[in-house]
Structure 1
Amino acid sequence: MEPMQPQEQQPKKAPPSREERFVAGVLKLCAENKGMAARLRRADNPATEYQSWELLATYGIDLEQERERLPFVCVAATIAKAKAECNGSMGLGRAIAACYENGNATDQAKARLRRLLACDDLSELCRILRPLLSLIGSKVGQGFDYIRLLKQLRRFPFHAQQVKAQWAQEFYGHTVHVEKEGV
């Protein structure tokens, strides 16, 4: 009898992260349900943020915890306002720079970045981000990386300096690729 040969196994693809599932769900929902998309656009305002709570609750987001709720509200409202069709690959820093690539406005772009980098807490950051993300949605359009932004916003309360450094790195266009040694 011949010994059995092990079948070659395909590397298992990691299941989508919570952020990936949320962004994909919001993109799909906005495309299929115009009423919910309109409610999400209105959720961009702190006074009407509650209009997004039904969606957030379906994703198991603790509505009582501001540091958990705000990143999801901010990203959902941004997707709805931008009428995004898919997740892109452009990070926040690069998107800010892209809004002002017409030459003379680079000082304005740097001022926007500096204001963002001066934020000390998540609620202030989301308040400053709202108009900036609207600008990015109108100028950059498709191509913005909502998943990356959501991950960064969720990490901000714990690793603010690291997140700010990533945005500055993207803005100034000096992306550093770190290779893992010994892998």
Structure 2
Amino acid sequence: MKMFLGAALLGVAAWLGFARRAEAAVDGVTLPPSDPTEASPALVASGPSAYAAIARQALGEMGNPFDLPLIMGLMQTESSFNPRAVSSAGAMGLMQVMPFVAVDRGYDPNAMFDPEQNIRCGIAHLVWTRNYLMPLGKGDLSSVLSAYNGGVGNVSRGWFNAGYVSKVIAYRDNWAGRVA
């Protein structure tokens, strides 16, 4: 609760312009300046193509559990390819990873603004989510995407975010002809 409130206050402060270039910490996780141009300029300049290369490599190392267009669609939905994105709930980076998820997946929550670490952690979490839901009979892509967005507990209880899933799938379809 403390982390959620801290992140929410930080989000409101950033929205109001009070935290535009200031660093803040939420439960020990240092949040960087909110200006996306302050993130590794070379990586930001190359944008989605650099992120696709990172995701392609990570997917290959993990046995290609999902296709690259899906990961690109997920990134576009979650952060619009802003590596410094912070949600009002405290999710961070390209794939909007929560700090506790980073820890649970074995990643440093302070590294979630590093595109490579964030993408790898996000993919690992997507794999974990699918593996968690499969024995419950909810391992289909729509349920997995809903759980990535709203949590496995909510999906286990029947919650489904059709709008979110539709958006990710539409972006995935758009990326399908552009990345392999």
Query: TM-score w.r.t. structure 1 length?
Result: 0.27
After TM superposition, the score normalised by the length of structure 2 is: 0.27
Q: Which has the higher contact order (CA 8 A, sep 6+)?
A: 1
